[in-house]
Amino acid sequence: MTGTSRNVAVRSLAVASLVAFAALLGGCWTTKVYREPGASSEAPSKPRPGVTTTVRRGDTLFSIASRNGVRQQDLAAWNGIAAPYTIYPGQKLRLYPAGKGGSTAATRPSTTTTTTKPAATTPAAPAPAPKPAAPAASDIKWRWPADGELIGRYVAGEPTKQGVDIAGASGAPVRAAADGVVVYSGSGLVGYGELIIIKHNEQWLSAYGHNRNRLVNEGQLVRSGQQIAEMGRSGAPREMLHFEVRYNGKPVDPLIYLPKR
């Protein structure tokens, strides 16, 4: 993490666990969290419709924006990334607004005035609230990564609740939730302790935090149910596993995909 990295707070004993999957999709997960220094005096960003870039290990949103000649705020807005601008290796970022062609046409306001009294109109009914997006379908056969009591649940939009927390004894086995390849095994992400991240395919990853001991290395293929770590309390107030699932870099509720128990 850089000197300007925002320390991602470990969740309290009540909510137990760390901050968002904060990162390491598709490559060695070394998420950088940062703030853009000062108010920007850069020229407005020039979108590049259809062009994307892939986050590399060690990248920050600011470094990617600078490398591509756009402002950090614009790059964040185009990709729906909120402060503290957490990104993940392997994550694809658009260099243009979603659904936009990169330019907008200005409409000149009319200067014509009228003295005609507007006709009375019936107030329009309020638009119905948008329905929440349906969960992404997954063809992966997920399994629980550890035995134990569920002590923390996923809450959409809550940066400290982007996964589930499973209590257990120190040294209890932590298992791969599905087949995949280890893309990160280390302790470089503040708030996650000893962390392992597994890439299952181009869209899906899973993360396992607060381990006592990691048993797999980056680049290693693992099978569903294989022990990958020992449960611990590194970066946590008690022995527990923090487990996250990400779809295209965004956190999703693991309980939607894990089998009922």
Q: For each successive 10 residues of the chain (261 residues), what is the average pLDDT?
A: 42 36 42 41 74 84 87 88 77 82 40 52 62 79 96 89 95 97 90 93 95 96 97 94 93 95 83
Of 257, 212, 205, residue with least CA distance to 239: 212
| Domains, the chain, with CATH or none | 150-257 (2.70.70.10)
CB contact set of 214 (below 8 Å; sequence gap of 6+): 185, 186, 194, 196, 228, 229
Q: What's the pLDDT score for residue 54? A: 87
Q: What is the predicted pLDDT for the residue at 112? A: 45
Q: What is the pLDDT of residue 42?
A: 52
Q: What is the pLDDT of residue 85?
A: 77
Note the pLDDT of residue 181. Answer: 96
DSSP three-state, residue 73: helix
